[in-house]
Structure 1
Amino acid sequence: MDPIVVAAGTALVSAMATDVWQQARDQLVGLWRRVRPEQAEVIGGELAQARDDVLAARRAGDPDTERALAGAWQLRLHRLLAEDPALAGELRRVLDEALTPALTADERTAIGSVVMNATATGQARIYQSGRDQHITER
């Protein structure tokens, strides 16, 4: 699955419990309106229901429900981009401008991605890490 879809689905569900939710919701419904205009209002209603589910899950201390909702919205976004791959740039904009700023530092870390490339030649060694790394050589 495209990393932008994974990040956007996760950030979407996290943002549902924030003050900027209405702005994020409007932008996502706008994406649907461009690709599937006949479904835009239904998506708006489903986003509202998902928000109610997220708020209830947070009150109950139920992170599994949030993860399940994130997976469901990742799949929906994946299908949307499959129909119109050009929306990836707009989805990135929504992620950067509407969703990510609403998240806590821990939530931002959870949606981030790291891409590393390396080429070793000869006797070279490469050590890469997306976070902490401890190397013990003898």
Structure 2
Amino acid sequence: MDPELAGLASVAAATVVQLLTTAGWERAQTSMGALWRRVYPDRANTVESELEESRAVLLAARQDASDPAEAEQAEAELVSEWQGRLRRLLAAEPGLAAELRRILADNLGPEPSGRGPDEPSVRVSVRASDSSRVYVAGRDQHLRGG
């Protein structure tokens, strides 16, 4: 699989799983269902139901875990599961990558913060290829040759 598509699947899976325990989980469910409907319309409702099951698993793990590492393990397993599903979907229909990027940016991004018009908003988007390096910082960054 194209490394860029694999990376996109990874980011999308992590984002969706993180949203499962927030108020935005229904946006994630609806968005993923819509994505699946474009390729496998007969599976979309199942995907939405499975996201609801994943949500229940994660909520239970967080509530029942006496050790925070157990909840983190449950989350990691769900991310891996959904990453695999998204990778298979993108392998079947690579053209969905643009739609998935749009969904991540428009539907699954952070909720508006309610900032005033004079308060700055920052969005950083980075893309590296081949053997390039990318350094991103919110403030000062000091690099030393090595």
TM-score, length-scaled by structure 1: 0.74
- AA matched with 1:55: L
Q: How many residue pairs get matched?
A: 121
Closer, same or farther: CA 69–77 of 1 in aligned 2, 3 Å = same
CA distance in 2, matches of 1:4, 1:16: 18
Match for residue 49 of structure 1 among 50, 53, 69: 53
Q: Does 1:77 align with 2:86?
A: yes
Closer, same or farther: CA 39–117 of 1 in aligned 2, 3 Å = closer
Once superposed, what is the RMSD of the aligned Cα atoms? Answer: 2.6
Q: Does 1:15 align with 2:23?
A: no
CA distance in 1, matches of 2:144, 2:37: 51
TM-score, length-scaled by structure 2: 0.70
CA distance in 2, matches of 1:35, 1:118: 34
- AA matched with 1:98: N
Question: What corresponds to 1:123 in structure 2?
Answer: none
Closer, same or farther: CA 136–27 of 1 in aligned 2, 3 Å = closer
Cα contact 2:126–2:134 (8 A) shared by 1: no
CA distance in 2, matches of 1:101, 1:30: 19
Q: After the TM superposition, which residues 47-126 of structure 1 pair with which residues of structure 2 at under 5 Å, given as runs?
A: 47-59=51-63, 60=65, 61=68, 62-101=71-110, 115=128
**Is the helix fraction higher in 1 or 2?**
1
CA deviations 1:24-45 (Å, max 9, x no partner) are: 2111101111101111111111
Offset of 1:100 from its aligned partner? 2.8
Question: What corresponds to 2:9 in structure 1?
Answer: 5
CA distance in 2, matches of 1:51, 1:64: 14
Closer, same or farther: CA 68–89 of 1 in aligned 2, 3 Å = same
Structure 2 gap ranges (5+): 112-124
- AA matched with 1:33: R
Structure 1 gap ranges (5+): 103-111, 120-126
Which aligned segments of 4 or more residues in structure 1 are displaced greater than 6 angstroms? 116-119
Closer, same or farther: CA 116–130 of 1 in aligned 2, 3 Å = farther
CA deviations 1:29-83 (Å, max 9, x no partner) are: 0111110111111111111000111112222231011011001100100000111
Q: Does 1:38 align with 2:42?
A: yes
CA distance in 1, matches of 2:130, 2:78: 32
Closer, same or farther: CA 48–118 of 1 in aligned 2, 3 Å = closer
